[in-house]
Amino acid sequence: MFSKSLIRYTFTLLLFIELTSFVTMGQTNKATQPLVVGDLNIYKLQDGQTYLQVSDLLGINPDKTKKLVGDIDSVCVPINSYLIKTPKHVLLVDAGAGINSGEDTGHLTEQLKKAGIEPNQIDAILITHFHFDHISGLTTAEGKPVFPNATLYISKVESDYWMRDLDSIPENQRIRASKYRGILAPYVSTNRYRTFLQNENLGEGIKAMPAYGHTIGHTVYAFVSKGEEVWFIGDLIHFEKIQFTYPKVSLLFDYNGSMAIDSRLDYFRRAANTNAYVAGTHLTKIVKLKTDENGFKAIPVNSY
């Protein structure tokens, strides 16, 4: 009796180990297989996920929404950062939501390690905009930089708005502004904080392109290598099941909804024309775009 149950126990344990290692291996493989674009190795690293309210969508009737996402109140979307290994540098685009968001986030550094990179190896972090799901992962709760050797890059427009004299910031945004400053402080105080102008070339074929609307200085980063392009589009899109088909749908929390729509249409049309890879913070896959009726069709790239 004892030995029978022991055998069963051992078998169950082995099966469990087998399944566990299979799952772990699957995740490891996913993180360590880069998308190769010219001389660039690109890794989509999922920091976590968040839930976006369907009621935040503007410019679409609820029946259409239901058809596309079902009869639900919120949609779960990933929060991605991207690791880019160039011949000379190791870069990140955005830094995730960190561990204190109250949601399942803060996995960026473990994802980085799976791609063979330690946080102190990151040279530069290109920030698309100052929202918590993009910058909170930069700094620990104790105010220590998670990436001690990285220089931050951010649009001057975005930076000037939030980093100006606190008294000149609208009162209802001051708490937010203070929090942003706290997150950025370890980088600012060690002179590792740079701003750039619209369309500035950041070197190594990297261009910072204005895509304003979601925030005041929201930026798309285009990397060009050996004739191929990959664009890190940040929050140009949040609801992939809705806003590719209906790109004129905006969000309640866009800084300027109509400007956000114009930016989305402009970059999506250009991405379709140039055949650029498109990598978004809240997209489940890296995609290429094709125009489709009044909207766009997103074609996922391999397992990315």
Nearer to Zn ion, 133 or 158 (CB): 133
Q: Which residues of 237-270 are buried (b: 16+ CB within 10 A; e: fewer)?
A: bbbbebbbbbbbbbbeebbbbebbbbbbbebbeb
Nearer to Zn ion, 102 or 227 (CB): 102
CB of 238 to Zn ion, least distance (A): 7
CB of 236 to Zn ion, least distance (A): 10
Q: Which residues bind Zn ion (CB under 5 A)?
A: 133, 235, 281
CB of 282 to Zn ion, least distance (A): 6
CB of 133 to Zn ion, least distance (A): 4
Nearer to Zn ion, 139 or 281 (CB): 281
CB of 67 to Zn ion, least distance (A): 25
Kindly give the interhelix angle for 174-188 and 156-163, rounded to the nearest 10 degrees: 120
Q: Which residues of 36-60 are buried (b: 16+ CB within 10 A; e: fewer)?
A: ebbebbbbbbbbbbbebebeebeeb
| Cβ-contact 81, 286 below 8 angstroms | no
Nearer to Zn ion, 132 or 224 (CB): 132
Six-digit token pair at 175? 């708490």
Q: How far apart are alpha carbons 257 and 192 in whole angstroms?
A: 32
For the chain, how far is it from start to end, CA to CA, in angstroms?
50
Nearer to Zn ion, 37 or 97 (CB): 97
| Closest listed residue to residue 260, CA positions, set 280, 236, 278, 279 | 236
CB of 281 to Zn ion, least distance (A): 5
Nearer to Zn ion, 192 or 282 (CB): 282
Six-digit token pair at 71? 């009869």
